[in-house]
Amino acid sequence: MSNKRIKEVAQYLYDELTAMNNEPIVLPSQVVANMDIEVPGLGVIDSYDMDRLEDNLRQSLRSDQNNITAKWAKMKIIRHPLTKRLSPKINSVAKKNSDVGVNPRAMNRYATDRKIFSSKTKRAGGTVLIDVSGSMNMSIRDVEEIVKTLPASTVAIYSGESHEVLDRTLWEDTDNIELGKLQIIAENGKWVEEIPRYPAQNLCDGPALDWLSKQAKPQILVSDCKFSGIQKSHNGRNPEPAFNQRLTLDAMMKISDNGIIPIKNLETAVEWAKAYIKE
C-alpha cells in the first residue's frame, strides 16, 4: 500500500471515530424506558402475561447479535381468495345498549346502568396479525378460532422462509427477493377455504408491523416478540436469521408508536377477543 493510500485510510478512520465520539450514545435500556406500550387487559391479560413478553424482549436485547449487515427481509403480501363464509350465527352485528330509545328491551338493567334500550350496531373488527414462526407452535385450529371469534376483522399470518431457502439465496440478491410472507386469510366475514402452509421463521417482523400499523384498529399482534431479520452468513454468500438488538428495538418502537396490542399467544388472543366484542 502506498504512503498516500495509508494516509487516506488513516484520515477516513479518524473522521469516523471523531463522528462516533460526537454522537450521543443511547443505550437500549434508555430507549425501552421511553416506550409506552399499553394493553387493555379486559380481565384477560394480566401483569403475568406482560411480564412474559417483557422477559422475552429483555432476553433478546441482552443476547442478540449485532452484525452490522442485519436488516429486515423483504416481504410480499398475498391475498388469498376468500371463498368460505362464516356461519350465520357468527356475524359482525352486535347489540348496543343505551339509556335512550323507543322500545325498552332490557328492563333488567334499569336498576344498574338504566341502559334498557338496545339497537343493532356493526361490531368493530380491527386487525389481527399472527406470527406463525416456529417458536409460536401455532396450529391451524388456533388460527380458525380467532377468525370465528372476530368475524368482522382482517386476519393475516406472517413468517419468513426456511433455512433451506436461505441457503439457496445469495446475500447480494436479498434487496430484491422477498424472503418474508404475509398472507391475508380472513376479511369481512369471509375466509380462506383452507389455511395456507407457511414457513417457520420470522425474518420480516418489521415490514409486517408496518403493514399492521396501517390497518383498522384495534391492531392486535399475536407474537412472543422474539423478533428476527436476516444478516450475511459467516461464509459471506448467503443470508441467515439475525436476532439483532437494533432490529428488536425497531420492532418495539413500531409497536409503541402505533398503539399495537401485543398478545403472547393465540389462546390468550381468543379470550381477549371474546371480551373485546362484549365491551
Q: Per residue in 254-270, is it b (16+ CB within 10 Å) or e — as a string?
A: bbbebebbbbbbbebbb
155: β partners: 128, 186
User: pTM of the predicted model, to two decimals?
Assistant: 0.75
Set of cell numbers at residue 33: 424506558
- 232-258 pLDDT, tens per residue? 998 889 999 998 888 988 998 899 889
**pLDDT of 89:** 46
User: CA angle, 100 as apex, 98 and 104 as ends, to 5°?
Assistant: 80
Q: Which of 270, 242, 48, 276 is nearest to 138 (CA)?
A: 270
CA distance 85 to 150: 13
pLDDT mean for each 10 residues of the chain (279 residues): 54 54 48 63 79 75 75 96 71 52 58 58 74 79 79 89 94 96 90 83 96 94 92 92 89 90 88 80
CB atoms within 10 A of CB 145: 16
Q: Is 244 in contact with 65 (CB distance < 8 Å)? A: yes
Q: State how far the Cα of 181 lies from the Cα of 196, in Å rounded to an integer.
A: 11
Q: Which amino acid is at 39?
A: V
Write down the residue that cell numbers 357468527 correspond to: 90
pLDDT, tens digit, for every residue of 38-52?
Answer: 677 788 887 777 777
Pairing relation of β-strands 178-187 and 239-242? unpaired
Inter-residue contact 221 to 129 (CB < 8 Å)? yes
Three-class DSSP category at 236: coil
For the packed helices 245-258 and 205-213, what is the interaxial angle rounded to 10 degrees?
Answer: 10
Sign of CA dihedral 161, 163, 167, 171: positive
pLDDT of residue 94: 46
Residues in contact with 259: Cβ distance below 8 Å, sequence separation at least 6, in sequence order: 38, 217, 219
For residue 254, the model assigns a pLDDT of: 92
Q: Where are the domains of the chain?
A: 38-90+124-277
Would you give the end-to-end CA distance of the chain in angstroms? 72
pLDDT of residue 176: 96
Q: What is the pLDDT of residue 115?
A: 65
